[in-house]
Amino acid sequence: MNSPTPLGASRAVIETLAETVASTLTLRPGACLAPIVTRLGGRIIHATAAPVSQSPRLLARRRDDFDIFVPSLTTEAFNRIAIATALGFLFLHHPAHARRAPNRPMSAPRWPGDDREAATTDIEATQFAYAFLMPARAFRDIWDAGHPDLARHFGVSTRAAALRARSLGLVDLTPIAA
């Protein structure tokens, strides 16, 4: 099996790991992720729409030899989440995969579909991505200071910033019944 398997950790554990990794890598809010990926031994591959839909999000041969596939016709904010999600697969799921199948690359699927295990790994990697790009304390501090554009500050979409605010309990985004 080349697909990642769920870590099974709580969101709090995943977010703590993500924030620790971001701090260790000295990631600054909104900073370009390409130098970090390169420093880790990876490559970002910008693919056209047709091939990217068939490519994995991440192909990790080793922890320090991996490719992240992102669409070429998307926004920088979208690609930041995509890259951080791929890093989530790398940091959360690759260690167990490397122990289980040391000579086989791990391939994180782009779309989990109906596969429950793939959907769980996708959720875990996405939780990692949000905490990696928008650490809780920094996000709350900027929220409390009334920063006019959280999304721009962190280099993510407005939707991503709103979802992070919701996950941190700063806002209730539940639709209001008419």
Please state the domain count of the chain. Answer: 1
Bigger pLDDT: 49 vs 24: 24
- pLDDT digits 0-9 by tens, 116-152: 888 899 999 999 999 999 999 999 999 999 887 899 9
pTM, entire model: 0.91
159 assigned to some structural domain: no
pLDDT at residue 19 above 90?
yes
* Mean pLDDT, rounded, for 102-118: 85
Tokens of 43: 């490559």
Model pLDDT, residue 74: 84
Range of the domain at 24: 11-134
Q: How confident is the model at residue 173 (pLDDT cuts 50, 70, 90)?
A: low
- pLDDT digits 0-9 by tens, 20-42: 999 999 999 999 999 999 999 99
Strand order in the sheet with 106-108: 42-47, 65-71, 58-62, 106-108
